[in-house]
Chains A and B, each alone.
Chain A
Amino acid sequence: MNNYTLIIMTDDKQVVLERILQVTRYRGFLINGITAKVNTGNNIATIELLVSSDRPISLLTDQINKLVDIKGVTVDNNASQQPNAKKYSA
């Protein structure tokens, strides 16, 4: 299993977090952690998503990028995941 940290910028719209979690599960990635905050000034949300999978991360980033409200997705290669983070499937 490979670990990845995704930084997702999105419009703060209805159920956008559910959409991201649904796509992440369906495409075969486990979620190890998540933080989210909204800039109320511009209604842009920033979501940091820690995921793991044997599959290439582009499979997930391409699909998240297709969601209508998403502004962009980057893979943060410098971030390190908490080794003891509880794993669960979204």
Chain B
Amino acid sequence: MTDSKPLTGGGLLFNVLEQHGVNHIFGYPGGAIMPIYDALYDSNVKHFLCRHEQGAAFSAVGYARASGKVGVCMATSGPGATNLITGLADALADSIPLVAITGQVPTAAMGSDAFQETDIFGLSLACTKHSFQVSHVDELEKVLHQAFEIALEGRQGPVLVDIPKDVQIASVEQTFKSVAPLKNKVTLPLADISKALDLLTHAKQPILYVGGGVGMANAVEEVRAFASKTGIPSVSTLKGLGALDANDTNYLGMLGMHGTKAANLAVHDCDLLIAVGARFDDRVTGKLDQFAPDAKVIHFDIDISEINKRRKADAPILGDLKENLPLLTMPLSIENWQVKVQQMKHDFSWRYDHPGEQIFAPAVLKEVSELMPKNTCVTTDVGQHQMWAAQHMNFDEPCNFLTSGSMGTMGFGLPAAIGAQISRPHDTVITVSGDGSIMMNVQELATIKRYQIPVKIVLIDNAKLGMVRQWQDLFFEGRLSETDLADNPDFCMLATAFDIKAKQITQKSEVTAAINEMLDHDGPYFLQVKIDAKDNVWPLVPPNSANNEMMESA
């Protein structure tokens, strides 16, 4: 704010954002948030105008996940606020720290069914970690600081702050001139590890099961040290990808519904499962009572409500993974088990000898992974391409693979990539999308154009809602209900309309050159990869089946 103007609620918002190190926010203006956008005019915070509030929310999510900072998005009341909800629900389900600011009609008008009034505070209850409605400007500063603390504390998550228009306009004095940098506070004592130690030292066939909590606990180094020193074979959830070194001989890849055969068979056979920052999600376990049926469980988590929620833990360890895991890091003698799982890994390795000239998506994504620069950040949408990316690409760190895990939100990939690129302008950012998903937030191509964001878009195009089509073929007698997208737009023409360089490839012989051209291009690039519409994602654990009962072909 300039010194000549009295500080308003709107100005105070940006002062507090700056105190928390927020440099970039994503949003869309409207009537009930105009005083905040007026204050933005004088602020040092850089605002990115997205073309839909859901795009703003997912850009903030991508920003948070790629950078480890709190993502911030804002929207006006009514439809602006409700359009944020999918992004908030996604952030809650994947434990992403987010602060969402919504404008609200003036306090005097609240509850009168005013124009663009909706009870976003009430709507937020099921899709945020916490939420506030600021009823007086004197509460605003404290509430905003609390919002950042809650978003980051313990198991991270989204916090919504609803600010009525009169509160945004009202004059206010700022109390806290500076704030201490926030950390992910953990106040829990060191855990009792004696039971876990006993299980670990007596295990003959242990498996390390790594989830998204590892990256959030900033414990990648500790988990890799544990895997390396103990030599325990390891598997990863979708959100845990990047936490383990993909080149480790004892790393078996992703487990679960579309996990590797080696990972699922090893977990099925193990006698001890060490879950770190993972929560026994149904996509991981398959039929729950047949998941790792002979295993004892050591469960590390920061959230007590995850302990014993779906699988009883024989040794629960509640607290900071970074502090607790080193207490169990020791050499073990499990050579026979290592030999067995390494043999499975060899026997069931991926094959890329797809017949015919049509492009095989797994091979394309493997090649993108091999050619992309170190520390590239990859985002995905949801569907077959997402699972192929998870199976066939390798990532340096969890912050380099951003995918909507729990919520499975189509439309995530493009805006998340925009947020990731803004947070890390010097790293390559690639979004892998599908022809169904890309249309969910396609308006964000305009955001790419507006700010010349050099995101690389790899569109895996089978002119289908491929994953649903696959399930209809396998489990609904081939009754293909509403999954054909043969009338898709001309994607290259669409991208070109947003000044994005575009190319379509249809033959295997075109793949390498196209990937190199995309990666060498300075600006945004749209690579449309036409694939065989009949290709399925394998392996697949059918519904209500154990993970060792996976299908490997139709």
A residues contacting B by CB (< 8 A) are: 14-15, 18-19, 22, 26, 58-59, 62-63, 65-68
Contacts and interface: CB of A to CB of B under 8 A. Distances in A.
B551 interface: no
B133 interface: yes
A54 B132 CA distance: 33
Nearest to A56: B308
Nearest to B150: A68
Size category of the B interface is: 10 to 19
A22 B150 contact: no
A63 B305 contact: yes
Interface in B493-528: none
6 contacts: A22-B126, A59-B309, A62-B305, A65-B305, A68-B129, A68-B150
B339 interface: no
A26 B126 contact: yes
B121 interface: yes
Contacts of B133: 14
B111 interface: no
B130 interface: yes
Contact of B304 (A22, A26, A62): A62
Residue with the greatest number of chain A CB neighbours at <10 A, chosen from B125, B129, B308, B309: B125
Nearest to B133: A14
Nearest to A61: B305
B126 A66 contact: no
B523 to A, nearest CB: 44
Contacts of A66: 303, 305
A65 to B, nearest CB: 8
Interface of B: 121-122, 125-126, 129-130, 132-133, 150, 303-305, 308-309
B423 to A, nearest CB: 27
Contact of A19 (B125, B132, B150): B125
A68 B130 contact: yes
Given A15-B125, A68-B129, 13 more contacts: A14-B121, A14-B132, A14-B133, A18-B125, A19-B125, A22-B126, A59-B305, A62-B305, A65-B304, A66-B303, A67-B130, A68-B130, A68-B150
Q: Which 7 A-B pairs have the closest CB atoms?
A: A62-B305, A68-B130, A22-B125, A63-B305, A62-B304, A19-B125, A66-B305
A18 B305 contact: no
A42 to B, nearest CB: 19
Nearest to A68: B130
A18 B121 CA distance: 11
Contacts of A22: 125-126
